[in-house]
Amino acid sequence: MPAMPLQFSANLSFLFTELDFPERFGAAARAGFRGVEFHFPYEFDKAVLAEVMLTSGVEVVLFNLPAGNWAAGERGIACLPERKAEFQEGVGRAIEYAEALGCTRLNCLAGIPTASRDTALETLHDNLRFAAALTQRAGIRLLLEPLNTRDNPGFLIATTAQALQVIDAVGSRNLQLQYDIYHAQVMEGDLARTLETHLPRIGHIQIADNPGRHEPGTGEIRFPFLFERLQQLGYAGWIGCEYQPSGESVDSFGWLDTWR
């Protein structure tokens, strides 16, 4: 039996950025994507985004919980004890947007601690238990993503092992790993073995090459090997194209023709 084609989604926070955000949905559809993802939708009216999504014909597959002041360098608030109330309000807001957009995955970024690591982890565990319970009732899968500490100095959860330890401590069946191949390559490598070992615990995959965080084929990662392995393993989830195109977005999709 031939392998099922992989499903790729366009990350609209990285691709088609020359366009206003609502216009990127249609651009992704015209480029052949059936799914889109992005960092945050919250500055836009959810009804307007829902109409744009329906008109363009793409599926919204993922976005992040509110993560603080991104422009000022914050990378999540889930580990900050002084902002638990803000985090919990943000979970409810994210669910409202997810329901309006038909999105069944929300990603949590732990953040950069303002207290001791032990206190930050305890706060993160409590917040993830809260978020996992609420999202489960809404029929939405919650994800936790490690970020590399080269691009995000001080980030609390930086490796697959750290993320899985947190997921085990939280103890919710509704919490899975978001595995970003770029971040993983920077911090730990061993990509194929990690995918083989932990694929049942991975709820979403994102890609970019290293160095440079550009499209596959511009760096050191053997993406054809990894994609073939994912097909062999029967991965049926989405793979998010979260890369900075080395030129125009539309010129960065040649590598996709073989896989979708």
Domain-located, residue 109: yes
Domain-located, residue 245: yes
Q: Is the pLDDT of residue 4 over 80?
A: no
Domain-located, residue 260: no
Query: 37, 59, 145, 215: which one is catalytic?
Result: 145
Establish whether 37 is a catalytic residue. Answer: no
**If phi over 0 gives left and psi between -120 and 50 gives alpha, with beta otherwise, what is residue 46?**
alpha
Domain-located, residue 1: no
Name the domain count of the chain: 1
Q: Which domain holds residue 190?
A: 7-255
Q: Which of 3-12, 105-114, 119-128 has the lowest mean pLDDT?
A: 3-12
Looking at residue 107, which CATH number applies to its domain?
Answer: 3.20.20.150
Domain-located, residue 241: yes
Report the predicted TM-score, pTM, of the whole model to 2 decimal places. 0.97
Establish whether 145 is a catalytic residue. Answer: yes
Contact 123, 86 (CB under 8 A): no
Domain-located, residue 192: yes
Report how far residue 258's alpha carbon sits from residue 260's, in angstroms, rounded to the nearest whole number. 6
Report how far residue 106's alpha carbon sits from residue 47's, in angstroms, rounded to the nearest whole number. 18
pLDDT tens for each residue of 43-97 = 999 999 999 999 999 999 999 999 999 999 999 999 999 999 999 999 999 999 9
Domain-located, residue 194: yes
Report how far residue 129's alpha carbon sits from residue 6's, in angstroms, rounded to the nearest whole number. 31
Domain-located, residue 209: yes
Report how far residue 220's alpha carbon sits from residue 120's, in angstroms, rounded to the nearest whole number. 34
